[in-house]
Structure 1
């Protein structure tokens, strides 16, 4: 699998159920969200603007997506919603790796590109590090309509959160050929 296929297989409407464990406090919380993932054209103004924020030539982008979410944190019924744009920039020497650019809402913050790579079983491994935190996330398809994610977020002050998320596709299926390929790669 490559990043373009991963983005394409991720398009659609998903129901997400996340369980997070706050390791220092020995507390857990659950959240549920509806997520919509749409691919964006590489000449979309949002894609070009994001590349420019990271000082990357927009012609280097390999694929892009807009992710919108709306959900609730179960513990205190807190609502959370928003959207972000992601742009991948594939490594010219290794097509299984590259940078992942994420839209930064806080303009005072310096953008930090994530690094992605695919492991031998087709899972996407994403790492992001800056002066205040580090994140490692693993995403994979258990089937074309079931996506899983695990991540560990560590802050520089010692605070850590580990999460497991299952996402079930509720609509907007990928093209049949891609879904068939994903099913074959998941089952092998």
Structure 2
């Protein structure tokens, strides 16, 4: 799998259930969200703007996606909603990994590109580090309509949070199998 295929398979409407464990406080919390993931053309204005914010030539982008969410957390039942744009910029010498640009909402923060790569099981590994936090997230498909995520977030101030998220596709389906894949699945 590559980043373009991963973004395409992720497109659609998802129901997300996340359980987070705050290790320093020995507390857990649950959240539920509806998530909409849309693929964006690499020449989309939001993609070009994001590349410019990171001082990256927009022609280096291989694919992009927009993620919108609307959900609640058990502890406060307050609505949490928002959206972000992600843009992949593969490494020139190894296109299976690269930079992941993310829209920054806080204008006071300097944009920091994350890194992506795929492990031997085809899971997408995202790593982000700046002056205050380190985060690693592993995403994979258990089936075309079930996506899983695990995340570890560490603050350089001393707290850590881990989370597990399951996402069930509620609408929009992944692209049909390629003819060669369909033939292989029928013959096996």
Instruction: Give, in whole Å, the separation in 2 of the partners of 1:18 and 1:78.
Output: 15
SS state at 2:39 partner? strand
Q: Which residue of 1 aligns with 2:32?
A: 32
Deviation at residue 15 of structure 1 after TM alignment = 0.2
Q: Distance in 2 between matches of 1:175 and 1:151?
A: 27
In the alignment, is residue 87 of structure 1 matched against residue 87 of structure 2? yes
In 2, Cα distance between equivalents of 1:15 and 1:126: 21
Distance 1:174 1:164 in 2: 23
The aligned residue for residue 21 of structure 1 is: 21
Q: Distance in 2 between matches of 1:35 and 1:76?
A: 20
Partner residue in 2 for 1:174? 174
1:66 Cα deviation after fit: 0.4
Match of 1:144?
Answer: 144
Q: Secondary structure at the match of 1:52?
A: helix
Measured on the aligned residues, the alpha-carbon RMSD in Å equals 1.6
Q: Which residue pairs with 1:113 in the alignment?
A: 113
Q: Following the alignment from structure 2 to structure 1, what is the Cα–Cα distance between the partners of residues 58 and 95?
A: 17
State how far apart, in whole Å, the 2-side matches of 1:97 and 1:103 are.
Answer: 19
Moved over 2 A (4+): none
Give 5+ residue unaligned stretches, structure 1: none
Higher alpha-carbon Rg:
2
Q: Deviations over 1:111-146 (max 9, x none)?
A: 000000000110000000000000000000000000
Match of 1:122 in 2: 122
* Separation in structure 2 between the aligned mates of residue 17 and residue 155 of structure 1, nearest angstrom: 23
What's the offset of the Cα at 1:96? 1.2
User: Which string of whole-angstrom CA distances, capped at 9 and with x for unpartnered residues, describes residues 51-78 of structure 1?
Assistant: 0000000000000000000000012212
Following the alignment from structure 1 to structure 2, what is the Cα–Cα distance between the partners of residues 103 and 139? 19
State the SS of the aligned residue for 2:177. Answer: helix
Residue 174 of structure 1 aligns to a residue whose secondary structure is coil
Query: Where does residue 134 of structure 1 map in the other structure?
Result: 134
